[in-house]
């Protein structure tokens, strides 16, 4: 019997490395945002105290705020692991009933861990740095109301963490998809495009023109026009990878130079391109010089 090799493949190792880089980027963004918010809050509190004629003591404010931030950021890897193992199905609301209760429990666990770690830090640092004990109770002496006060803020912080992770992971996925599409165009001479949940392929050299249409682009290939969800730049990058001589003639148009028949000028001093199937394409003044140079 052949033994199974449990050594991770190079692709898996690279994927894990990319995941860690994305999570570190999200951690840094979260840290910067939280420090900025805390800085503004402390300055606002100092201004309010001085307006009332008091004298603000900055040290306790800094210790309170930054022990909370440190505790929250220390929990970020756990949030990253949890959302990696159990992604929230934002686009599949039918599955929310299965995932949402687990996320609700996770918010309470996250808050309890944050408050517990924060209290431990404060009980250790307050006597050492300020010479006074730290007591975690509210004005009425209730631990539960004190935790609920923190829980409301922790909900917002956890939403920030999850939102950052989801956004950066999605951007990383899109970047990988674009790179894979460019590689496919380079190696197989075909475009990879998506529309309506489908992925289909178009012969790159047969693309005559591309037109931006909001969040979509129209791609004329052969005698057909395809409407696909993409950007003009993404399609242009694929065509460039496939060595198709596409020329930008307008901020919304790309034209395959092999299909240009002639350049027409009208009485108003504007220009247009006529393709070999008699299609007319607008030619903007901003792109005319580049096109003329490329057509020499």
pLDDT, tens digit (0-9, with 9 covering 90-100), for 167-219: 999 888 888 888 888 888 888 888 888 776 778 888 989 999 999 988 889 99
- Opening angle at CA 245, ends 203 and 253, nearest 5: 85
In the predicted model, is pLDDT for residue 71 greater than 90?
Answer: yes
Handedness of CA 236, 237, 238, 239 (dihedral sign): positive
Handedness of CA 26, 28, 33, 38 (dihedral sign): positive
pLDDT, tens digit (0-9, with 9 covering 90-100), for 239-253: 999 998 888 888 899
Q: Please give the mean pLDDT across all residues of the chain.
A: 84
In the predicted model, is pLDDT for residue 6 greater than 70?
Answer: no
CA distances for 6 relative to 12, 16, 69, 223, 228, angstroms:
12, 16, 39, 51, 41
Helix (H, G, I), strand (E, B) or coil at 98: helix
Could you tell me the pTM of the whole model? 0.75
Is CATH 2.40.50.1020 the right assignment for the domain spanning 189-294?
yes
Task: Name every residue whose Cβ is closer than 8 Å to that of residue 282 and which is 6 or more positions away in sequence.
Answer: 249, 250, 253, 272, 273
Task: Enter the tokens of residue 23.
Answer: 């999570």
Task: Enter the tokens of residue 248.
Answer: 């930008």
168: exposed, middle or buried (Cβ count in 10 Å: 0-12, 13-18, 19+): middle
Looking at residue 4, its pLDDT comes to: 47
91: exposed, middle or buried (Cβ count in 10 Å: 0-12, 13-18, 19+): exposed
Band of the pLDDT at 69, cuts 50, 70, 90?
Answer: very high
The residue-averaged pLDDT of 122-148 equals 79
Handedness of CA 273, 274, 275, 281 (dihedral sign): positive
Q: What are the structural domain ranges in the chain?
A: 10-178, 189-294
> Which of these ranges, 12-16, 154-158, 179-183, 201-205, has the smallest mean pLDDT?
12-16
Helix (H, G, I), strand (E, B) or coil at 139: coil
């Amino acid at each position: 019997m052949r033994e199974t090799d449990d050594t991770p493949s190079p692709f898996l190792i690279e994927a894990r490395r990319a995941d860690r880089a994305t999570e570190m980027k999200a951690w840094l963004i979260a840290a910067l945002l939280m420090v900025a918010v805390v800085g503004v809050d402390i300055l606002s509190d100092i201004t309010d105290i001085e307006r009332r004629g008091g004298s603000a003591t900055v040290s306790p404010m800094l210790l309170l705020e930054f022990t909370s931030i440190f505790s929250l950021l220390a929990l970020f890897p756990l949030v990253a692991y949890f959302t990696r193992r159990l992604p929230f199905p934002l686009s599949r609301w039918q599955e929310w009933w299965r995932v949402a209760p687990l996320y609700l429990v996770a918010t309470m666990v996250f808050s309890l861990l944050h408050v517990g770690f924060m209290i431990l830090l404060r009980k250790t640092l307050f006597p050492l740095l300020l010479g006074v004990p730290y007591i975690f109770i509210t004005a009425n002496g209730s631990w539960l109301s004190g935790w609920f006060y923190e829980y409301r803020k922790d909900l917002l912080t956890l939403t920030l963490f999850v939102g950052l992770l989801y956004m950066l992971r999605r951007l990383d996925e899109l970047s990988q998809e674009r790179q894979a599409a460019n590689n496919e165009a380079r190696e197989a001479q075909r475009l990879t495009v998506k529309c309506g949940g489908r992925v289909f392929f178009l012969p790159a050299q047969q693309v005559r023109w591309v037109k931006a249409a909001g969040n979509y682009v129209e791609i004329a290939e052969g005698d057909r026009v395809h409407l696909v969800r993409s950007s003009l730049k993404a399609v242009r990058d694929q065509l460039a990878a496939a060595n198709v001589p596409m020329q930008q003639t307008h901020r919304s148009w790309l034209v395959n130079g092999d299909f240009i028949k002639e350049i027409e000028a009208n009485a108003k001093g504007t220009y247009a391109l006529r393709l070999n199937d008699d299609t007319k394409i607008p030619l903007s003044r901003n792109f005319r010089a580049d096109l003329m140079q490329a057509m020499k």
